[in-house]
Structure 1
């Protein structure tokens, strides 16, 4: 097959690796609009289960990613000025730039052509003309998807809160949170390490807090200085780093965003198929975006490996099977992400609790019951449910039913 991948993110590169491993005779090109080494997002997170899947798909790149990652098991939170810690499962962080470089090197090693600074702006691009398969891995604003928006049935829903994605020279050894109350409302940060030198720090707040603090009018340099003061105990005096700083223009405005949740009713059209953020997004607070894109690549490659010999018909069946399976598989992640985003949008509801209780409910934010039960009562019921099997069964029974009811609304 002649395969063209549009978008050189983790999902697109990993799919190219998998297909080249399946059949070295495949002619595969990955087109990425940005220069090599130019990316956003600082670090990405994933959990141990992903590594097992990657090792099954391509042991070499999996081991390279594992070796370049940092890990943590604890979660820590600063609520106002009080600290609390919870122990949990192992999590991993890796620099996005580092991950892309490792995957691109592995793809080239296998014979994939990776072309940076090469934009594909629509389905009429000459680079796509002779491809047997076109993989649209070009992100949430996918030009290939938007050219046939009606067919793919993409729907995008905007979140309420504002957030900014930053780096910091503080190296965190746990997944850390800080919640600060200001005269204009709460503002909070999520922070995690991704190397021995830097960490990611995402800052979020309600729109009223954003405007009340003047963050809507500040340059990035002034924004960083204010946030460094607000989160001084989290950062231990280390500095925050913004995208404009990296680009050499600290007078530019900070890149505050609102998150857009994307779903697509159909994932392929003819020989073009969606992958990763081009097909779906999940709120960053559950840290699943990169994992879901890599899992898309694994399932798509497996579907193509099983296709029959009868040309386009078998390709269509494989792409249909891939889309059907992945749409079903990502429902739990989409539900968890929606509930997580809502938890943060209703943060003041939980901030009257003691810090350890608030942090415990932060870990329960994916529960569809939590928005409908007073926080103190939910905390007590959840602690009791850990000891009473009947309550655990009731919680498991009620949760999915309430989630479906909320989804229908």
Structure 2
């Protein structure tokens, strides 16, 4: 089979790896419009479950990914001058540039042709049995047939900016700062030995009240450094390039599609769907798309059947994640509802922000119900653990 992946992001590269492992005779080319090594962004996050999946499908790239990642298992929240720290799931951060380098090297080693500075327009699709639109949220291939795909885009209320910093956080870090124009907050996580990602978010009235919407790039970064001076420990913030500026405020755009394929053209990754950055799932979902598509192509007898199976499975699998992302975004948009709680309670609800009940239950009551449910579940687990042991003890006494 001849395959053309348009877009050299995680989904397109990992799909090419999996297809080559399944059948080395596949002729696969990855077309990336940007120069090699010029990727935007800082670090990306993923969790232990993804690493296990990658080990199952390609151990070599999984080992390389883990070897270049930073790991943490704690979260810390700073609210005004108070802080609280909790243990949580094992998380990983890796630089986006390093991730793409690992995947591209692995693809080339398997015989995939990776072409940079190769622009593929929607009216000049490659001659291939399968064309994979892995060209991101602004996918030209998808936009050309937006009516067929049923593309819908919804903009979020809050504004955010994606930055880097020379401060290396030791855990996933939240910081909430009160200003005269409302709250502004950041979340940061390390992705290599010398840098971290730092995403800053605020309501639109806070953005305009602080003048961040009008400030020059350098002035905006300087103001943010002052606001988050405590958590940054004097370290600087960095825009999308190594230059002093390049910070751009955006509103997150949630993208969905009614269908994910048209003839031999199929959508993967951000071209097919986006989920709010606050749940840290974008890279994971892109790689899971690649796994599902490769599996469908291997197991189904025809291309139409494979694409239909891929769409069906991934749309179903995405439903809980999309719901979690929607509620997570709404939690931050309604931050004043929770920010006055004691930090440990606010942080507990921050961890529960995916719950569909939280917006409708008073925060203090929800916190008490959540704690009670946790205690009840702990008792249930203890009972399940003690049950066989008590039964064996009683049986032993009967025998005596």
Pairwise TM-score range, normalised by the shorter structure: over 0.9
List, as ranges, runs of 4+ consecutive aligned residues in structure 1 with deviation greater than 6 Å.
none
Give the Å deviation of 1:339.
0.2
Residue-by-residue CA offset, 1:251-273 (whole Å, 9 max, x unaligned): 66x31110000111101000000
| Equivalent in 323, 327, 338 of residue 350 of structure 1 | 338
| Equivalent in 266, 279, 284 of residue 291 of structure 1 | 284
| Equivalent in 220, 228, 234 of residue 223 of structure 1 | 220
Q: Say if 1:251 and 1:200 are closer, same or farther in 2 by CA, change over 3 A.
A: closer
Partner of 1:42: 42
* DSSP 3-state at the match of 1:159: strand
Give the Å deviation of 1:116.
1.0
Give the Å deviation of 1:307.
2.3
Q: Is 1:78 the counterpart of 2:92 in the alignment? A: no
Distance 1:350 1:391 in 2: 29
Distance 1:56 1:151 in 2: 35
Partner of 1:182: 179
The alignment's C-alpha RMSD in Å is 1.4
Partner of 1:90: 90
Distance 2:47 2:346 in 1: 24
Give the Å deviation of 1:298.
0.2
Runs (5+) with no aligned partner, structure 1? 309-313, 393-409
Give the Å deviation of 1:119.
1.4
TM-score normalised by L of structure 2: 0.93
Describe how 1:19-34 pairs up with structure 2 within 5 A: 19-34=19-34
Describe how 1:190-339 pairs up with structure 2 within 5 A: 190-243=187-240, 245-246=241-242, 248=243, 250=244, 254-308=247-301, 314-339=302-327
Q: Say if 1:177 and 1:389 are closer, same or farther in 2 by CA, change over 3 A.
A: closer
**Kept in 2: contact 1:17–1:106 (CA 8 A):** yes
* DSSP 3-state at the match of 1:187: strand
**Kept in 2: contact 1:50–1:291 (CA 8 A):** yes
**Kept in 1: contact 2:239–2:245 (CA 8 A):** no
* DSSP 3-state at the match of 1:141: coil
Distance 2:64 2:36 in 1: 19
Count of residues paired in the alignment: 380
TM-score normalised by L of structure 1: 0.91
Distance 1:176 1:251 in 2: 23
Give the Å deviation of 1:223.
1.0
Runs (5+) with no aligned partner, structure 2? 381-400
Residue-by-residue CA offset, 1:193-241 (whole Å, 9 max, x unaligned): 0000100000000000000000001112111111111101111111111
Distance 1:136 1:296 in 2: 12
**Kept in 2: contact 1:69–1:94 (CA 8 A):** yes
Residue-by-residue CA offset, 1:269-319 (whole Å, 9 max, x unaligned): 0000000000000000000000000000000000001122xxxxx100100
Give the Å deviation of 1:129.
4.0
Distance 2:77 2:40 in 1: 25
Q: Say if 1:129 and 1:75 are closer, same or farther in 2 by CA, change over 3 A.
A: closer
* DSSP 3-state at the match of 1:161: strand
Comparing 32-41 with 334-343, greater Cα deviation is found at 32-41
**Kept in 1: contact 2:149–2:259 (CA 8 A):** yes
Distance 2:245 2:169 in 1: 28
Distance 1:384 1:279 in 2: 40
**Kept in 2: contact 1:385–1:391 (CA 8 A):** no
**Kept in 1: contact 2:221–2:245 (CA 8 A):** no
Q: Say if 1:182 and 1:132 are closer, same or farther in 2 by CA, change over 3 A.
A: same
Residue-by-residue CA offset, 1:301-350 (whole Å, 9 max, x unaligned): 00001122xxxxx1001000000000000101000000000000000110
| Equivalent in 163, 167, 173 of residue 166 of structure 1 | 163
* DSSP 3-state at the match of 1:296: helix
Partner of 1:406: none
Describe how 1:110-129 pairs up with structure 2 within 5 A: 110-122=110-122, 124-125=123-124, 128-129=125-126
Q: Is 1:53 the counterpart of 2:50 in the alignment? A: no
Partner of 2:350: 362
